Amino acid sequence: MLPVASTPVPARSAVPTARIEAFLAEERRETPFLVVDCDVVLDRYAELRAAVPSAAIFYAVKANPAPELLDALVHAGSSFDVASPGEIDLALAAGADPAKLSYGNTIKKRTDIARAHELGVRMFAFDAADELAKLTAEAPGSTVFCRVLCDGAGSDWPLSRKFGCDVDQAVELCLRAIDAGHQVGVCFHVGSQQKQPDAYRVAIELVAEQIAAPLAAAGGRLSHLNVGGGFPGTYLTTGPATAVYGAVIERTVVRCFGDDPPVLITEPGRFLAADAGVIETEVVLVARKSLHDEHRWVFLDIGLFGGLAECLGEAIKYPIVTVEGDDGGPKGPVVLAGPTCDSADVLYEEFRYRLPMSLGAGDRLRLLATGAYTTTYAAVAFNGFPPLRTYHLPPSRRA
């Protein structure tokens, strides 16, 4: 029997694919676990290529670094955004060309820069003078991307407080990088799960008017423009069609840079991997905190420390469906929490999911669109709980 939707599922498919449904029907596996259909990853890759045809796609490995997924994207022709020596090794092990890796973390040890350069990596991000000095010393002649601040308005997960510098500093750093013999690009991130395509227009215009123009006036040139990620997964709230985002980006680049645009790059992570995954979890306990509580506490065998860290602040709201425990009767509001002995391990309390009143211990739920930023956030052994089990269904075809 198909699961019963307990919360609204958006129109674009976060619903499990036929391949995932078949996998889940094979046997009753120990929970919690994640299953990912790599066919969906390839579908999203093709969708983004069609939406932004002039851009090179650099998959953000941090979203889901599974070897099966990376292998599929290597064969599809993807480039990769890497954040650490470990991610570089994973991408290279999957067959990626080191020249198609961008070391996008702005905080890197000098030794890690040197090793990456020795392996053939030639693209690096920075947002500070000291970081640029390390790049000039350890990765001479490389292409460097100065990350600029964006406010993240319209996104569920803003990313600019820790990363990036203002435009005045960016101009100075870019000129310094050019003088040091680097090709210079600019990168930004409009925020993860960005639901307003116009955010890309605002950011591209900022770069063109306040960075590229002063560079040109000083005799320099912006060689690359990396518009980052931010394209949304299909959660309870999502954004417009991918083609809308692509049209905004392509149109703005043409308008701002004319017939001599910089090399355009996108860095999707969540967009490619999220909708490909489903987490199956078991209810451990259903409880009320008083005789008069209108809501129940539903404790699952997965929580913040088991892979659902993006529930912090209830920023990401996954579609949830019941697999068992729904007798067709009424539903009621619940607080969802994890299994650990940590009072912070609460997933959703302000936003009230509605689950069957008949739900009890041992029943199972599925969290949809969980293919990104779950396994990589899972603690190794917090409270003695093992890491999230994962299964990746390899592609049924080559892109």
Token pair 């100065």 is found at: 146
**DSSP per residue, 179-222:** HTT-EEEEE----EEE--THHHHHHHHHHIIIIIHHHHHTT---
Query: What's the token pair of residue 295?
Result: 């809501």
Catalytic residue selected from 38, 165, 311, 341: 341
Q: Rounded distance, CA 293 to CA 283, Å?
A: 19
The beta strand positions in the chain, using DSSP E, are 4-5, 33-37, 55-60, 79-82, 101-103, 123-126, 143-147, 155-157, 183-187, 192-194, 224-226, 263-266, 277-287, 296-300, 320-322, 331-337, 346-356, 364-368, 389-393
Q: Using CA atoms in the order 238, 242, 246, 248, what is the torsion angle rounded to 10 degrees?
A: -40
Left (φ > 0), alpha (ψ -120 to 50) or beta: where does 296 sit?
Answer: beta
Annotation says 341 is catalytic: yes
Tokens of 358: 């008949």
Tell me the residue type at 386.
P
In angstroms, the first-to-last Cα distance of the chain is 32
Length of the chain: 399
User: Distance of CA 289 to CAs 207, 298, 347, Å?
Assistant: 53, 11, 17
Which residues have a catalytic role annotated? Answer: 341
